């Protein structure tokens, strides 16, 4: 059994935990925003350029698909380090919360884009064909058919990505990104302050639960029946 001294809770630096929570939420919020902004178009591009699809470009698709796979196969910790020069160039720093957001986005975009591609594949081909028969242009099909018809699936994909991002943020401590996960590693794991680790884990759990419930309720609200 763990020998826990809950009196330590009184000594926990709640300000530090509060700051770490804020860091996590900042990293999550900002990186999620950019992930959707970049991942959604990339997912649409993957979908329409795939062989046999609306604008089949097999070679472009093969290149994009390979890049997505490369980024998805790199462990996030390695991505953090590898991207440091790029991050520095982009945001002026390669450390801290700001420095963590770039690798978070780079890690999550391919993941989200692939999910988007799969969600779009579920759209009834007959509906796309019907739109074409009515003279719809590609932009019509994307904005009036594909995205609205797959909205519940897209929200689901965003939820899964956000939860994955919570996991990624835990590793951002490597470059001084901070956040709850970092706190759990530094105090809980490296300094054996199990209590702090438990508190942070409970907070992370609450965050993940909250994200999932919010996502699920949005999906319920926009289902089509």
Partner 1 sequence: MIEVQSISKHYQHGGKSIAALDNVSLQIASGEIYGIIGRSGAGKSTLIRCLNLLERPDSGHVSLHGEDITRLDERALQQRRQRIGMVFQHFNLLRSRTVAANVRFPLELAGGQSPAQMDARVDELLALVGLQDHKHKRPSQLSGGQKQRVGIARALANHPDLLLCDEATSALDPETTDAILALLADINRQLGLTIVLITHDMRVIRQLCDSVAVLDHGRVVEQGKVLDVFLAPQHAVTQSLLAETGMGQGALQGIWRQRVATPVIKLTFVGEPTLQPVLDKVGREVGLRVNLLSGTLSEIKDTPFGQLLAGVVASDVDVSALPAIFAREGVRCEVL
Sites of contact with partner 1 (CB under 8 A): 124, 126-127, 129-137, 140, 144-145, 148-149, 151, 224-225
> Least distance in Å: CB of 166 to partner 1?
30
Q: At 187, list the tokens.
A: 């105090």
> Least distance in Å: CB of 138 to partner 1?
10
> Least distance in Å: CB of 158 to partner 1?
17
> Least distance in Å: CB of 129 to partner 1?
6
Tell me whether residue 144 or residue 191 sits nearer to partner 1 (CB atom). Answer: 144
Select from 32, 172, 193 the least CA-distant residue to 97.
Answer: 172
> Least distance in Å: CB of 152 to partner 1?
9
Tell me whether residue 132 or residue 212 sits nearer to partner 1 (CB atom). Answer: 132
- CA distances for 141 relative to 43, 46, 54, 104, angstroms: 15, 15, 9, 31
Where b means 16+ CB within 10 Å and e means fewer, 128-149 reads beebeeeeeeeeebbeebbbeb
Tell me whether residue 145 or residue 203 sits nearer to partner 1 (CB atom). Answer: 145
Tell me whether residue 146 or residue 166 sits nearer to partner 1 (CB atom). Answer: 146
Select from 193, 191, 211, 212 the least CA-distant residue to 25.
Answer: 211
Q: How many angstroms separate the CA atoms of 54 and 51, rounded?
A: 9
Q: How many angstroms separate the CA atoms of 9 and 32, rounded?
A: 32
Tell me whether residue 150 or residue 169 sits nearer to partner 1 (CB atom). Answer: 150
């Amino acid at each position: 059994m763990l020998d826990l001294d809950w009196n330590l809770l009184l000594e926990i630096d709640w300000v530090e935990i509060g700051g770490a929570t804020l860091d996590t939420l900042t990293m999550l919020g900002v990186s999620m925003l950019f992930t959707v902004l970049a991942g959604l178009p990339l997912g649409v591009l993957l979908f329409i350029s795939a062989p046999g699809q609306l604008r089949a470009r097999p070679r472009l698709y093969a290149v994009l698909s390979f890049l997505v796979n490369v980024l998805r196969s790199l462990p996030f910790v390695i991505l953090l380090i590898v991207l440091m020069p790029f991050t520095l160039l982009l945001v002026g720093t390669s450390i801290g919360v700001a420095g963590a957001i770039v690798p978070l986005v780079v890690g999550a975009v391919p993941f989200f884009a692939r999910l988007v591609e799969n969600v779009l594949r579920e759209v009834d081909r007959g509906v796309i064909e019907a739109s074409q028969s009515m003279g719809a242009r590609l932009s019509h099909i994307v904005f009036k058919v594909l995205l609205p018809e797959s909205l519940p699936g897209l929200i689901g994909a965003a939820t899964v990505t956000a939860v994955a991002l919570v996991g990624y943020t835990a590793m951002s401590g490597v470059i001084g990104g901070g956040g709850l996960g970092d706190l759990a590693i530094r105090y809980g794991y490296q300094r054996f302050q199990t209590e702090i680790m438990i508190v942070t884990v409970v907070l992370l759990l609450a965050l993940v639960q909250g994200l999932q419930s919010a996502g699920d309720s949005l999906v319920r609200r926009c289902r089509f029946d």
